[in-house]
Amino acid sequence: MNKFTPIIGLEVHIELSTKSKMFCGCSSDHFGKAPNTQVCPVCLGLPGALPFANKEAVTATVKFGQAFGSRINSFSKFDRKHYFYPDLPKSYQISQYDMPLCVGGAFEDKRIRRVHLEEDTGKLVHETINGEKSTLIDFNRSSVPLMEMVTEPDFHDTVSIIRFLKEAQMVARYLGISNADMEKGSMRLEANISLSTEEGIKKGELPNYKVELKNINSFKFLEKAINAEIKRQEEILTAGGTIHSETRGYDEVKQTTYSQRSKEEAKDYRYFPEPDLPPMRFTDGEIEEIKNSLPELPKDKRKRFADKYSLSNDYIEILISNPGRSSYFEEAVSLGQNWNLSAKLIADLMINKKLDLQHPEPAGLIKKVVEIIKVEYSDGSDVETAVNEVVAEESKAVKDYNNGKGEVVGFLMGMVQKKLKGKGNPSMVREKLLNKLNER
């Protein structure tokens, strides 16, 4: 029996946190607002209404692409993508086709094909009205700036997929271009899945079909949906059946995917350049200026935290997952130096004790830790006195240390603790003891 390997590519949609929509002046803050209260002739697609591009959204998309090493096209344009759904008032979407803003890029070994900019659609709301099932349309979301990242089919398991998606979410937050909140729909995922044999992968051949999973709104939901679709495809191929390209949804109750519609191809969308919007041109200087404005990115912070603070990978991932929390940690470490508090201790108190949640300001956390230390440990002057006494009394152990026997440090620390009746802060005792020994 053939063993199948999943071949998966991703489409990541992120709503940008601009004040106004992509092609009009309406507010883009649509979540929780009364239906159809943030609309105008442009985002309702009324005849004669002309769009104009949101520069802030364009810059945000360029930043995101640069964060993943994309090449920025010096010439880019918008296109009309035609399809006919009730949540698309113009019967076409203004998107980008052959000349996107960003091309290429990668995260670790996963390649990015493109990052482009488009407008979001309206939102369908399914309700029962007077006993009848009805579908209503809220156009508040229509024309909100929507950035789309498309990857190459480089994924073979859900672990690497979720790692990639969490990085994309984190980068958007670090750049300040979106909250990328999946629960509120500002980050939405689609996965294109097919299966191949080991022989096909070695030849570099892609299957002649792909199934798109849509409307995925959480990482956990994504994992379940992908695994269910892989199982379905394995069963069909094992039985000698044929899989057709289509779009499918996921039923969490039944834990199976279900068919929604046949999969469109590029030719079905009848792309052509958007005649109402001029193309965009960027000089090398403008592209470089945007790149220089990028903050420290998660991949850089990850490396710096490992080098500077010697923290475990698990601790680093937790601390950098939120830009505000990583800044809190660094400020706390800086304040804690006055009390000989290690970065590891502060990270531990934040991650395992959640002390940063109890103290909104880093100074409050440090104050609390110092209060605890004062109760449990001797102060610095007492430790220094005990260290001086032990070094004077234990001349043989000191001589052994000077002759290269580092293991006697433990014995000497024990003697210091004996004088302090066990109330010495171990890190402080060790530091002061080594300082004293190395003076000699």
Q: How is the chain split into domains, by residue range?
A: 4-292, 298-376, 380-439
Mean pLDDT score, 237-260:
92
Give the residue ranges of DSSP H helices in 141-294.
158-175, 198-202, 219-238, 284-292
**By mean pLDDT, which of 83-87, 104-108, 234-238, 243-247 is the weakest?**
83-87
Band (pLDDT 50/70/90 cuts) for residue 376 is low
Residue 378 pLDDT greater than 80, yes or no? no
pLDDT at 318: 96
* Mean pLDDT to the nearest integer, 367-372: 84
Question: Strand 71-72 and strand 102-103: pairing?
Answer: antiparallel
Q: What are phi and psi of 89, to 5 degrees?
A: -65, -25
At residue 401 the predicted structure's pLDDT band, cuts being 50, 70 and 90, is confident
Q: Are strands 75-76 and 110-119 parallel, antiparallel or unpaired?
A: unpaired
Tell which residue, 143, 153, 173, has the closest CA to residue 113: 153
Q: Is the pLDDT of residue 433 over 50?
A: yes
Beta-bridged to residue 248, according to DSSP, are: 213, 259
What's the pTM value of the predicted model, to 2 decimals? 0.82
Average predicted confidence (pLDDT) for the chain: 91
The full length of the chain comes to 440
- Give me the phi and psi of 3, to 5 degrees please: -95, 125
**pLDDT tier at 406, thresholds 50, 70, 90:** confident
pLDDT at 2 over 80: no
pLDDT at 346 over 80: yes
Position 316 scores a pLDDT of: 96
Structural element, H or E, at residue 92: strand 92-95
pLDDT of residue 1: 45
Q: Residues near 80 by Cβ (< 8 Å), separated by ≥ 6?
A: 92, 93, 94, 95, 270, 271, 272, 273, 274
Measuring CA to CA, how many Å separate 144 from each of 8, 52, 116, 121, 370? Answer: 28, 13, 14, 8, 49
Identity of the residue numbered 420: L
Cβ contact 420:382 at 8 Å: yes
Q: Which residues pair with 145 in a beta bridge?
A: 119
Can you tell me the distance from the alpha carbon of 68 to that of 77, in angstroms, rounded to the nearest whole number? 21
Give residue 398's pLDDT.
Answer: 84
| Segment 19-37 mean pLDDT | 95
CA max distance for the chain? 95
Over range 122-143, report the average pLDDT: 92
Q: Euclidean distance between the first and final Cα of the chain, in Å?
A: 73
Q: Stretch 377-384: mean pLDDT, rounded?
A: 80
Q: What is the mean pLDDT of residues 251-255?
A: 90
pLDDT score of 429: 86
38, pLDDT greater than 90: yes
What are the C-alpha distances in Å from 211 to residues 154, 158, 217, 257, 322?
15, 16, 18, 10, 34
Q: Look up tokens 């798109």; give the residue.
A: 212
Is the predicted pLDDT of residue 221 greater than 70, yes or no?
Answer: yes
Q: Give the phi and the psi of residue 143 in degrees, each rounded to 5.
A: 80, 10
Question: Under CATH, which architecture does the 380-439 domain have?
Answer: Orthogonal Bundle (1.10)
pLDDT at residue 265 greater than cutoff 50: yes
* Averaged pLDDT for residues 332-355: 90
Q: What is the pLDDT of residue 381?
A: 84
Question: Which among 206, 188, 184, 189 has a CA at the least distance from the CA of 197?
Answer: 206
pLDDT at 372 over 90: no
Counting residues of the chain whose pLDDT is more than 90, the rounded percentage is 70
| Per-residue confidence band for 292, with pLDDT thresholds at 50, 70 and 90 | very high
- Residues 46 and 26: their CA atoms lie apart, in Å, by 15
Q: Which of 67-81, 268-282, 409-423 has the lowest mean pLDDT?
A: 409-423
Q: Which of 102-116, 292-306, 423-437 has the lowest mean pLDDT?
A: 423-437
Greatest mean pLDDT among 245-254, 372-381, 425-434: 245-254
- The fraction of the chain above a pLDDT of 70, given in percent, is 98
Q: Where are the alpha helices (DSSP H) in 352-407?
A: 355-358, 362-376, 380-393, 395-402
Say if residues 24 and 143 touch (Cβ distance below 8 Å). yes
- Given a cut of 60, whether residue 347 has pLDDT beyond it is yes
Please return the burial class of 390, using the count of CB atoms within 10 Å of its CB with bins 0-12, 13-18 and 19+.
buried
